[in-house]
Every structure is written in C-alpha cells, then in structure tokens.
Amino acid sequence: MAEARQHLAQCSDCRQQVEQFQQTHAMLRALPDVDPPRRIVFAPPERPAWLGIFDWRAALPVSAAVVLIIAMFVVFSPNPAPLILSVPAPVAPAVQVQNVDYDRIISEVRRSERVWFAGELEKRDKEIQRLQGSLDYYEHLQHAVWKETLENAGSIQLLAQRSEQRD
C-alpha cells in the first residue's frame, strides 16, 4: 500500500483514474437497490415436451448413417447439385432501453455525501466531547498531584528544619 500511495503521489494519470473510480463507487453505493421488473425473467428457454421422451443417444448412429449416405451421393454423383442448408438466424431478445436521469443520480449522490458528512461531523463532535471529559479529568488529577507535591515539599522542609535544630 505504501508503494501504491507513493506511486499515486507521483503519477497524475493513475491518481486521476483512482479518483474517478472512487467517485463512481460512491455514486453506485448511493443508488437504492432496485428489483428488476417482473416482465424480465432470467431462465433458460423451455424445451419442447416431445424432446424429453426422445432418446438422442439411440438416434445418433442413425443420423450418422444418413449423413454418410448423403455425402456418398453428393461425392459420387455424376452431376452433383449444390447442397444448400438453411440455418435460422438467432432471434435476439427484445431489449428495452431505459432513460437514465443523471441529474437525479447526481443530486442523490450529493445528498448522500451530505448525510455521510453530517454523520462524520457528529462522530467527531462526540469524540471531542469524550476527549474534553478526559482532559478535565486529567487536569483535576494533575491539580491534585501538584497540591500533594507542594504539601510533601512543605513537610520535607519542616523535617529538615527540625533536623537542623536537633543538631
């Protein structure tokens, strides 16, 4: 991470890409979860019922024999006619394009950022209050220790005077 941060500090292109990614990530996190419309079904296409009763493994040798006979007919025919196979084109599913309201997304992201920022400020205020309470406690403790130190210093001076008077 230290190497990556150092590289980002020096490389403006990478820094810009990271900032763009972070903005995109923040915008996506701000969007509400939306269920897909009911008309969209994510399921494989259903197989016709008659396919379920037909055993393809049994039909494979027969199919191979038919293809071989047709190939022999085409190859050994005196006037071979062109063989035209028709394959149906795949049908693309209908896709509905929905308009994206970018202004709404941006306003929601900004509102989300304001809410997040207000929450962060509230956390900081609580931390400041906690630290202020700790500071008050330690100031009181320091005052008590200082007072005790002065009392002890006075007692030591008094003992020293009495000791001198005895000598």
Q: How confident is the model over 40-61, as pLDDT tens digits?
A: 656 666 666 555 555 666 666 7
CA 69/CA 82 separation, integer angstroms: 16
Average pLDDT of the segment spanning 62-72: 73
Give the HSE-up count for residue 24: Cα atoms under 13 Å, Cβ half-sphere: 6
CA 111/CA 157 separation, integer angstroms: 68
CA 133/CA 139 separation, integer angstroms: 10
pLDDT bin (cut points 50, 70, 90) of residue 4 is confident
CA 24/CA 27 separation, integer angstroms: 5
Share of the chain above pLDDT 70, in %: 68
